[in-house]
Amino acid sequence: MKANGIRRTMEDNVIDIVIYAILIVVFVMTVYPFYYSLVISFNHGIDASRGGIYFWPRVFSLDNYKAVFSNHALLNGFGITISRTVIGTFATLLFTGLFAYSLSYNKLMFRTTYITLLIIAMYFSGGLIPYFILLKKLQLMNTFLVYIIPLMLNAFFTIIMMSFFRELPHELKESAKMDGASEMRIYFSIVIPISAPVFATIALFAGVEHWNSWFDAAFFVTDKDLKTISFMLMELINKANLTAVQGGGGDVERAATYAAQTFTAETIRMATMIVVIIPIICVYPFLQRYFVKGIMVGSIKG
């Protein structure tokens, strides 16, 4: 739709103004909370508890980040989260990929049965309690594997990957078969390289899921050394929640008890949040042209 050759009316101008106003509002409303967190994370803690910081740290300080990076529990939490994200994403790509690939094979015997089982599992679930009992009885509770194994196969990812594999050109696989390559070989050395877009999308989805996950750390794991950073962040935030309830100068009181220090629970929380957010901000813009297609497939066909 080109505007060339069409006379612009008064209505066009009004609509344009409204549209750009909306864009600016959306942009500011989305970005400002992130920016605000960043500003607070770089502000001296006790000074921040006086409030009134808008656009710039009032008393600049790196102490919050120093505190985060010298806290062993938090660092351990980051370590656990990084490991589960890397290992978990890899496991999901491998397992879900192979499953989706086999389902994309048209002549697969019992294919309809398999897909029906998958779709049912997508819409129905046993709910939290039976799932909890299962994990307990499988002895997965309180192990690192509880972060990896239950997420290895995801029905929604399977559908996206399967739809992608089905569109791949047949000839590529056929010619490799002529050359005597096994099916496994074809998958790993031909299908995977040409399927980079879908693998990138699923890697992003699975990676983000692992990175943000706190529920399993909260309820399926008791060992403090296995807790993820998101779970720790939740604990920091829960304290803030209670402070909000108690009202009446909670932060000021807290600041006073920490008088000797330059950070407070609030500023530590903000610094931790920023560290948690940064990897996601760095990754997702590069993958957006892939996942836009991905969620279309998933939402419409799924």
Partner 1 sequence: MPNFWSRLRGQLFFQICALMGIAFLLVFAYTPMVGIIIAFKNFKLSSGIPGFITSEWVGFKWFAEFYNDIYFWQIIRNTVVMSLLKLVFTFPIPILFALVLNEVRRQAMKRSVQTVSYLPHFISWIVVSGMIFSFFNEQTGVVNHFLVSTGLADKPISFLSDPAYFWPMAVLSDIWKEMGWWTIIFLAAIAGVDPALYEAAVVDGASRMQRIWFITLPTIKGTIIIVLILSIGNLFGGGLGGSNFEQSYLLGNPVNNGVSEILQTYTLKMGLAQGRYSYATAIGLIQSVISLMLIYLSNYFSKRFSGIGLF
By CB under 8 A, name the one of 71, 76, 83, 102 that touches partner 1.
Answer: 102
User: Shortest Cβ distance from residue 128 to partner 1 (Å)?
Assistant: 6
Under the criterion CB under 8 A, does residue 278 sit at the interface with partner 1? Answer: no
- Phi and psi at residue 108, in whole multiples of 5°? -55, 125
Binding mask 111-140 for partner 1 (x = CB under 8 A): x--x--xx--x-xxxxxxxxxxxx-xxx--
For the chain, what is the HEC assignment?
Answer: CCCCCCCCCHHHHHHHHHHHHHHHHHHHHHHHHHHHHHHHHCECHHHHCCCCCCCCCCCECCHHHHHHHHCHHHHHHHHHHHHHHHHHHHHHHHHHHHHHHHHHCCCCCCHHHHHHHHHHHHHCCCCHHHHHHHHHHCCCCCCCHHHHHHHCCCHHHHHHHHHHHHCCCHHHHHHHHHCCCCHHHHHHHHHHHHCHHHHHHHHHHHHHHHHHCCHHHHHCCCCHHHCCHHHHHHHHHHHHHHHHHHCCCHHHHHHHHCCCCCCCHHHHHHHHHHHHHHHHHHHHHHHHHHHHHHHHHHHHHC
User: Shortest Cβ distance from residue 132 to partner 1 (Å)?
Assistant: 6
Count the site residues for partner 1 by CB under 8 A.
105
By CB under 8 A, name the one of 49, 64, 85, 92 that touches partner 1.
Answer: 49
Length of the chain: 302
Binding mask 214-253 for partner 1 (x = CB under 8 A): x----x----------x--xx-xxx-xxx-xx-x-xxxx-
Q: Contacts with partner 1 in 253-272 (CB under 8 A)?
A: 266, 269-270
Q: Which is nearer to partner 1, 214 or 258 (CB)?
A: 214
Beta bridge partners of 43: 60
Token pair of 111, please? 């294919």
User: Shortest Cβ distance from residue 48 to partner 1 (Å)?
Assistant: 7
User: Shortest Cβ distance from residue 242 to partner 1 (Å)?
Assistant: 7
By CB under 8 A, name the one of 42, 95, 157, 165 that touches partner 1.
Answer: 95
Under the criterion CB under 8 A, does residue 37 sit at the interface with partner 1? Answer: yes
Task: Point out which span in 64-72, 83-91, 168-176, 207-215 binds partner 1 (CB under 8 A).
Answer: 207-215
User: Shortest Cβ distance from residue 300 to partner 1 (Å)?
Assistant: 7
By CB under 8 A, name the one of 36, 90, 188, 199 that touches partner 1.
Answer: 36
Q: Distance between CA atoms of 183 and 85, rounded to whole angstroms?
A: 29
Task: Point out which span in 47-55, 73-81, 168-176, 190-198 binds partner 1 (CB under 8 A).
Answer: 47-55
By CB under 8 A, name the one of 87, 141, 190, 208 that touches partner 1.
Answer: 208
Q: Contacts with partner 1 in 156-175 (CB under 8 A)?
A: 158
Q: Contacts with partner 1 in 59-78 (CB under 8 A)?
A: none
